[in-house]
Amino acid sequence: MDIHPAGTRPTRVAPTAWFTGQVWQDPIVDAPEPARVHAVSVTFAPGARTHWHTHPLGQTLLVTTGHGLVQVWGEAIRSIRAGDTVWIAPGEKHWHGAAPDTAMTHIAIHEAVNGSYADWLEAVTDAQYGAVRAGA
Amino acid sequence: MDIHPAGTRPTRVAPTAWFTGQVWQDPIVDAPEPARVHAVSVTFAPGARTHWHTHPLGQTLLVTTGHGLVQVWGEAIRSIRAGDTVWIAPGEKHWHGAAPDTAMTHIAIHEAVNGSYADWLEAVTDAQYGAVRAGA
Instruction: Inspect the interface and report whether the beta carbons of B31 and A4 lie closer than 8 Å.
Output: no
pLDDT at B132: 63
User: Which residue type is seen at B100?
Assistant: P
Q: Which of B45, B20, B55, B56 is nearest to B104 (CA)?
A: B45
CA angle in degrees (0–180, nearest 5) for B106-B112-B118: 60
pLDDT in tens, B119-133: 999 999 999 998 765
Predicted structure pTM score: 0.95
Q: What is the pLDDT of residues A42-71, one digit of tens each?
A: 999 999 999 999 999 999 999 999 999 999
Distance, in Å, from the CA atom of A5 to the CA atom of B51, rounded to the nearest integer, reads 24
- Tell me the chain A residues in contact with residue B5 when contact means C-beta distances shorter than 8 Å: 81, 83-84
Interface contact B1-A85, CB threshold 8 A: no
Contact A66, A102 (CB under 8 A): yes
How high is the ipTM of this complex? 0.94
Residues 6 or more apart whose CB falls under 8 angstroms from that of B50 comprise B18, B19, B20, B23, B95, B96, B97, B124
Q: Does B17 touch chain A (CB under 8 A)?
A: no
What is the overall mean pLDDT for chain B? Answer: 95
Residues 89-128 of A with CB under 8 A from B: 89-90, 92, 94, 107, 109-111
What number does CATH give the domain A12-135? 2.60.120.10
pLDDT tens digits along B10-20: 999 999 999 99
